[in-house]
Amino acid sequence: MYVVKDFMVRYSGLFEHWIGLRRESGQPWKWVNGTIFSQQLFEVRAEGNCAYVSDVSVSSSRCYSLRNWICSKPDAHTKGKEDAVE
């Protein structure tokens, strides 16, 4: 849990950031690589379909809301999509 708090402090501030966590209606939260999110890490507030970090918590809203992204090294799931878009 300490790592999550460090992460929150690092990215909290003036802007909200999408964190690559999404769910379909009635389904569990999943990361962009398809793995199921463990709710032991942190609570995602609200009833939206995409999660973001704000200055006080992790919340959710409609996926098309304009926010910054927290990016990471591409995994096999996203790498295949990058290669297809040339």
Q: Is the pLDDT of residue 83 over 60?
A: no
Residue 63 sits in which domain range? 2-84
Domain count, the chain: 1
Q: Is the pTM of this model over 0.75?
A: no
**Other beta carbons less than 10 A from residue 35's beta carbon:** 10
Q: Which pLDDT score, from 0 to 100, does residue 52 have?
A: 92
CATH number of the domain that residue 62 is part of: 3.10.100.10
Mean pLDDT, range 60-64, rounded to an integer: 93
Residue 37's pLDDT band, with cuts at 50, 70 and 90, is: very high
Dihedral Cα 8, 60, 78, 75, nearest 10 deg: 30
Indicate whether 11 pLDDT > 80: no
pLDDT(24) > 90: yes
